[in-house]
């Protein structure tokens, strides 16, 4: 993964090693992983805090200077690291719930996620976060095993029980069937033996004239 440590190095959106089991440890010297962890720590600590006005003003100033420093390092979307580190939870995208994908086969994917108050509604996972997690693991399976690119057409989520915070949840995806360009997927999320949510999704394979980069002429 040293490619992501070199400034301005091109980064493949698709890592051929992405089927490797996820290694939850942050390797020594993996500065980008440390940075993602730090951003996540800020998000969680901010959510849990109640700063007085003076503290809020001081912290805002500090964060503004951090943002300014990062803006100086801006690159195009294909070259950014966030979202492209397949070995990191949530692909290194700090907003995304930290989903660890443990295994992907041709027809199944398995992962786990623990969310804190940053991703909470009220004392449980926010109802918008659950679909984010399903979209991540189901899209990953839909696009695995050399299949051509497909985008989410629909994702229907059933919330069966409140998903607790600060405990590990198990997330699974299953490739149900294919019908032409349509790929039908199912997802489940468990806390222990309790099914907290399930989802049905359709991914539709992109036609040659549809590109992933819609700002460069794709008609999707």
Ligand X SMILES: CCCCCCCCCCCCCC(=O)SCCNC(=O)CCNC(=O)[C@H](O)C(C)(C)COP(=O)(O)OP(=O)(O)OC[C@H]1O[C@@H](n2cnc3c(N)ncnc32)[C@H](O)[C@@H]1OP(=O)(O)O
In this chain, which of 36, 81, 139, 199 binds ligand X, going by CB under 6 A? Answer: 139
In this chain, which of 84, 85, 119, 140 binds ligand X, going by CB under 6 A? Answer: 140
202 near ligand X (CB under 6 A):
yes
Closest CA to 103 of 205, 172, 179: 172
Report how far apart, in Å, the C-alpha atoms of 62 and of each of 29, 80, 208 are.
25, 23, 46
Strand, coil or helix: 31: helix
46 near ligand X (CB under 6 A):
no
- x-or-dash string of contact with ligand X, 161-190, rule CB under 6 A: -------------------xxx--------
Residue among 148 and 192 whose Cβ is closer to ligand X: 148
Residue among 56 and 153 whose Cβ is closer to ligand X: 153
What's the first-to-final CA gap in the chain, in angstroms?
Answer: 32
Closest CA to 185 of 128, 219, 147: 147
Given the rule CB under 6 A, which of 23-31, 46-54, 59-67, 151-159 is the region that contacts ligand X? 151-159
Q: Are 171 and 111 in contact (CB under 8 A)?
A: yes
64 near ligand X (CB under 6 A):
no
DSSP 8-state code for residue 90: G
- In degrees rounded to 5, what are phi and psi of residue 215? -80, -5
Q: By the criterion CB under 6 A, which residues form the site for ligand X?
A: 136, 139-140, 143, 151-154, 180-182, 202, 204, 206-207, 210, 212, 220
């Amino acid at each position: 993964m040293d490619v992501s440590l070199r400034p301005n190095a091109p980064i493949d959106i698709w890592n051929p090693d992405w089927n490797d089991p996820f290694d939850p440890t942050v390797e020594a010297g993996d500065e980008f992983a440390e940075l993602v962890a730090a951003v996540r720590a800020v998000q969680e600590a901010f959510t849990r805090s109640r700063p007085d006005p003076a503290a809020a003003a001081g912290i805002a100033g500090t964060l503004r200077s951090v943002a300014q420093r990062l803006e100086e390092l801006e690159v195009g979307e294909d070259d950014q690291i966030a979202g492209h580190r397949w070995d990191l939870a949530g692909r290194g995208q700090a907003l995304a719930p930290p989903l660890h994908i443990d295994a992907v086969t041709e027809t199944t994917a398995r992962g786990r996620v623990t969310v804190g108050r940053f991703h909470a509604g009220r004392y449980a996972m926010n109802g918008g976060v659950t679909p984010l997690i399903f979209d991540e693991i189901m899209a990953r399976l839909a696009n695995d095993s050399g299949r051509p690119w497909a985008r989410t057409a629909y994702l229907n989520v059933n919330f069966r029980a409140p998903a607790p915070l600060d405990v590990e949840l198990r997330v699974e995806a299953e490739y149900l069937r294919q019908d032409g360009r349509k790929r039908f997927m199912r997802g489940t999320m468990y806390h222990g033996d309790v099914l907290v949510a399930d989802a049905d999704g359709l991914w539709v394979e992109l036609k040659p004239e549809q590109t992933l980069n819609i700002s460069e002429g794709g008609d999707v």
